[in-house]
Structure 1
Amino acid sequence: MLRGRLLEYRSGHRRATPRRTDCCHNLRVDASEEPGLRERKKTRTRDTVRREAFRLFQLNGYAQTTIDQIAEAADVSPRTFFRYFPSKETVLISDEFTDPIIEAFLAAPAELSPVAACRHAVGKVFSTMAGEQYDYAIARQRLMYTLPEAKGALYDEYIRTIRLLTEACAKRLGLAEDDHRMRVAAGAIVGVMMATADDAPMSGAAILEALDILEGGLPQ
């Protein structure tokens, strides 16, 4: 009888094992989804801080708005603010365009040259950006260009864009990122954007025209 009970216990124990495995499997699936959720939460927090900052800049003026006020309006701590933005002026730096343009650049048809691929990417991003989102980005850029203290942050963003575009050019062409030609090409493209902006919000049409000039070469 005892032997029979032991067999029943062992048999039941073996049957329970798959259920524990299934449970662990489900936990692994949930854990694999966590990074995506965290990234979306970070994006929402970053957007909230930026929008509240810009609202306060418009309401009280840039100089009169403090980081503590921005953090309070966004319902985050000042420490969290600095986790997303190293300074008050960097809140104004527009990345609604840069990162999507890089993604579209990488996805552009393989037969396009780097300049043509960038033109393709710029056209795609500007054409799909909603009116309110575009107006908000342009208004923030317009304020940024009026602030001398934002010049350093803007320069850093241009350097970041050159780095991202250098990496993207290397991927598209199957070359090493340290190939000097990649950085020269990226610098030329970003230089076109800098010249087009010229202390004013970026216009998609103006950038496309400037890229056409770059692709065609200088007048002889």
Structure 2
Amino acid sequence: MTASEPRPPGLRARKKAQTRRTIQEQALRLFLAKGYENTTVEEIAAAAEVSHMTFFRHFPTKEAVVETDDYDPMILQLIAERPEEEDTLTALHRALAQGLRTVYATDREALLIRTRLVLRTPALRARVWENQHTTEEMLARALASRRPDQSELATRVLTAAALAALTTALTLWVDSEGTENLPALVDQAFTTLQGHNR
């Protein structure tokens, strides 16, 4: 590459994503080894070979290392790609299931560690409702754009019920220490929900 040729598009974004992933991987490793409460931001930064300031450029708090993921844009894209004739609950189920299968195939262990930390660490568990509320609003907007004829109440209720089904499946998966098949649990949870929706 000559000096006059442009840098490949997205190189900076890829490097940023890699740094973020490295920080998160090292944080999860330390949380497993030392416990969440006993691990400091300074230790995570040192393990990831980044500065304290670089850590905070990627994650505003220690909690964010566990809570932050890149799944939302993928789920929104999958919702947008669902057939128009699908009802709200079916579209949400199939989008979430497809996204989850992708994550499960590539990041199963990290997902298990993060979910276990969230469910079993009081400081993180206290933030679940706030984070779930944000996700619910995001998904409800995406679903409303598919079905503008559906009332806001119906969309919000179905979205909240779907997230409750997903959270229940995740909880059972963590309780089994990951021995259960998470995609199958999610499908069972939605089958139960859709059975009561008829």
TM-score (norm 1): 0.71
Output aligned runs, 1:172-211, within 5 Å: 172-174=146-148, 179-198=152-171, 201=174, 203-211=182-190
- Aligned partner of 2:196 in structure 1 is 217
Are 1:141 and 1:200, in contact at CA under 8 Å, matched by a contact in 2? no
1:117 is displaced (CA, Å) by: 1.1
Cα deviations across residues 79-125 of structure 1 (Å, max 9, x unaligned)?
Answer: 23223323212322263554433322221222211211122123322
Distance 1:199 1:150, change over 3 A: farther
Letter in 2 for 1:110: E
Q: Which structure's CA Rg is the greater one?
A: 1
Q: Of residues 95, 99, 102 in structure 2, which corresponds to 1:125? A: 99
Letter in 2 for 1:100: M
User: Identity of counterpart residues, as a percentage?
Assistant: 29
Distance 1:156 1:79, change over 3 A: farther
- Aligned partner of 2:53 in structure 1 is 79
- Aligned partner of 1:66 in structure 2 is 40
Aligned residues: 189
Counterpart Cα distance in 2 of 1:84 and 1:138: 22
Structure 2: gaps of 5 or more residues = none
CA RMSD of aligned residues (A): 3.0
Distance 1:98 1:204, change over 3 A: farther
1:148 is displaced (CA, Å) by: 0.7
Output aligned runs, 1:104-143, within 5 Å: 104-129=78-103, 131=105, 133-143=107-117
1:169 is displaced (CA, Å) by: 0.4
Counterpart Cα distance in 2 of 1:133 and 1:217: 32
Letter in 2 for 1:127: R
Counterpart Cα distance in 2 of 1:133 and 1:175: 37
Cα deviations across residues 170-196 of structure 1 (Å, max 9, x unaligned)?
Answer: 2222469x9444333322221222333
Counterpart Cα distance in 1 of 2:189 and 2:68: 20
Structure 1: gaps of 5 or more residues = 1-25
TM-score (norm 2): 0.78
1:167 is displaced (CA, Å) by: 1.6
Are 2:136 and 2:156, in contact at CA under 8 Å, matched by a contact in 1? yes
Greater RCO (CA < 8 Å, at least 6 residues apart): 2
Counterpart Cα distance in 2 of 1:67 and 1:179: 41
Are 1:145 and 1:200, in contact at CA under 8 Å, matched by a contact in 2? no
Letter in 2 for 1:126: L
- Aligned partner of 1:41 in structure 2 is 15
Counterpart Cα distance in 2 of 1:150 and 1:117: 30
- SS of equivalent residue, structure 1 residue 212: helix
